[in-house]
A and B are shown apart, each in its own frame.
Chain A
Amino acid sequence: MSKELIEELAPVEVHDVDYTKAGSHVDVTVEPDQVHRVAEWLNGRGYFLEDLTAVDRGSLREMVYRFNQHIEAHRITIRVNLGPEDEVDTISDIYAAANWQERECHEFLGVKFKGHPDLRRLLLPEDADFFPLRKDFKVPPEALAPEYYQEEND
C-alpha cells in the first residue's frame, strides 16, 4: 500500500521513518508546486489535515504537513523545502483547517502562501513586523535559559 501511495505522491526524496520512533508512517519531500496536487489527492482518499508548520533551517525553510485518517491511523508527512523568497500554494481551498494554520505559519515564520484569502496576523498584534519563530529573531536576554543549559554537553 505504502509503495503505490509514495509513487502517486511523486516525491523528490523518500525518508526512511520508523513509526514507533518518529510517529509517521510515510515521510516524503515533494516539490513546492506539487503541494496543492498532493493535498487534493489525499483529500479524495479520506486523509484530513492534522498539522501544518515549518522549521527554519537557516538558508531554507522546511514546511511540514501531516495528514491522517479517521478510520485507522495512517500518518503521512509531506515536506517542502523553500528558499527565503519562495512561495508555496495555499491548501486552504481544499482544507478549511489550513486557513488558520497557514496564517499562523505566515506570521511566525514568514512563509508566503500563494492564493491565501486572508493573511492578517492571527495570534500576534495586527501591526507585528517580526517573525518570532525564525532563528534570526532576537530573543530578549531575560527570556533565555540560564547558562548551564547552553554549555556544551558533558
Chain B
Amino acid sequence: MTEGNITSLDTEKKVASGLTEQTFWLNMGPQHPATHGVLRIVLHLDGERVVEAEPVIGYVHRGHERMGETRGYAQFLPNNSRMDYLGAMTYNHAYCAAVEKLAGIEVPPRAEYIRVITSEFNRLSSHLLFLGAYLMDLGAFTPFLYIWEEREEINDILNHVTGSRLTYCYNRFGGVHKDIDDQFTAGARAYIKRQRKRFKMYDKLVTGNVIFQNRTQGVGAITPEQAFNYGVTGPCLRACGVEYDIRKKEPYSVYSEVEFMIPTGRNGDAFDRYAVRLAEMEQSLRIIEQCLDRLPQGAYINDNVPQYLAPDPGEVFFAFESPRGETNIFIVSDGSRIPYRMHWKTPSYTNLSILAELVRGQFIADVISIMGSLDLVIPEIDK
C-alpha cells in the first residue's frame, strides 16, 4: 500500500488513471492462497471497488521456448508436463503429435486410443481440481475433500501405467511408453460408473447452493465479442455460448471417431464457466468409455522411430484442446537434431489478459471469484 510497492506503474500513469487521496494500491500476490501459484495483481482500489487492475506475471518464467531450441526433440519431452502441471498429459500428447506431424511418423491405432483415454482422464482430474479449489476460494471447504478423493483415484489409475502421478511423461514419438492392461481397463470402468453418481451429488451439493449462485451468477461476465477480441478459448469461451473446441473443429488423434458434445453456456459469467466444466467432465467419461469399448489390438508404439530425430526442414503449427483451452505449438526445423524455433501459445495466458477488463468496477471479493473461475495455471502462463 506504500509508494514503494508500485514498481511497475510510473507516476504519469497514476495521474492519468485518476489516483486520488480516496484511492489506494493493493498488491494481491505474488504469494496469495487464491492465486494458486506465483501471480501478482496490482489492484487500484476505491474503498471496496476496483478502479484498475494490472496482472504482473513472469515470476516462474523458466524459458521453455529457449530450452526447446537448445536440446533434441526427445529431450524436451519432460518439459511439457512442467508447463501446465494439471493438464500434463494433454500437453505431452500434443507435443508428440506435433513432432510426429513434422517428421511424418505413423502412430498405431491402439496408441491413439490409449492417448485419448489418458488425456481425457487428465482433463477430468484437472477439472475436478478446479471444482474443489474454486469452491475453496469462495469459502466452501468440504467439496475440496470430496474431489481430492476422486482425483486420487485418477492419479492411481494413471500411475499404474505411466509411473507418475502429476508430471506425466508417458507419450513417445510413434506411440506410448507402456501398454495398458486389464487392471487399468477394469479400474477405468469402475471409476466411470462411480463418478457418474458423484456428479449428481455435486449438483445437489454445489450447483443449487444459494450462496454459491449469488457469488457467481452475473459475476465476471464475458461477452462473445470480448472473448473474440481477447482470443479467449476453452471453457471460458464456451461459457459465452460459442461452440469452439479444437477436438471438434480440427480433430486430432481419434477424437473424430468418438461421439461427444460441446457443452456451452449462455451468460459467460463465472457460474456458466463452472457449469460448462462440470458438463465437460461427463463428456470426458463418455469419450473414455467409447475408447475402452473400441480399443483395437496391436502395437502400442511404432518401433521404427529413430533414436535421434532430425526432421526435414519445414515447420508445423499444431493446435490442441488442453483442459484450459486451445494451446498452439509452432516448431520450425532446419534439418538438425535440435528444433530451430519452438513457440507455445498457452490458453491461461490469453484468458488472464482479459482479467483487468473483467474486474474493473467490481468488488474486491469478486476478484477472487472471477480469477478462480478462469482456472489459471501460472507456470503455463509464465512458460
User: A: which residues have CB within 8 A of B?
Assistant: 21-24, 48-51, 53, 55-56, 64, 66, 68, 70, 72-73, 75, 77, 95-97, 99-101, 108, 120-126, 132-133, 137, 139, 143-145, 148-151, 153
Taking a contact as CB atoms under 8 Å apart, the answer to whether B231 and A149 are in contact is no
Question: Does B244 belong to the interface (CB within 8 Å)?
Answer: yes
**With A120-B8, A132-B63 as given contacts, are A70 and B58 in contact (CB-CB < 8 Å)?**
no
Taking a contact as CB atoms under 8 Å apart, the answer to whether A23 and B336 are in contact is no
Question: Does B141 belong to the interface (CB within 8 Å)?
Answer: no
Taking a contact as CB atoms under 8 Å apart, the answer to whether A150 and B345 are in contact is no
The distance in angstroms between the C-alpha atoms of A149 and B338, with both chains bound, is 7
B56-71 CB contacts (< 8 Å) to partner A: 57-58, 61, 63, 65-67, 69-71
Contact of B382 among A51, A70, A123, A126 (CB under 8 A): A123
User: B: which residues have CB within 8 A of A?
Assistant: 7-8, 57-58, 61, 63, 65-67, 69-72, 75, 101, 228-231, 237, 242-244, 249-250, 308, 310, 314-319, 326, 328, 330, 332, 335-338, 340-341, 343, 345, 349-350, 353-354, 357, 382-383
Taking a contact as CB atoms under 8 Å apart, the answer to whether B316 and A23 are in contact is yes
The distance in angstroms between the C-alpha atoms of A50 and B349, with both chains bound, is 12
Nearest B residue to A56 via CB reads B341
The distance in angstroms between the C-alpha atoms of A150 and B318, with both chains bound, is 26
Cβ distance B356 to chain A, nearest Cβ, rounded Å: 10
Tell me which residues across on chain A come within 8 A of B336, comparing CB atoms. 153
| Additional 16 contacts, C-beta under 8 A, given A22-B314, A153-B308 | A22-B317, A24-B317, A51-B317, A51-B330, A53-B345, A64-B330, A66-B328, A70-B237, A95-B229, A97-B230, A101-B345, A123-B58, A133-B66, A143-B67, A145-B75, A153-B337
Taking a contact as CB atoms under 8 Å apart, the answer to whether A50 and B345 are in contact is yes
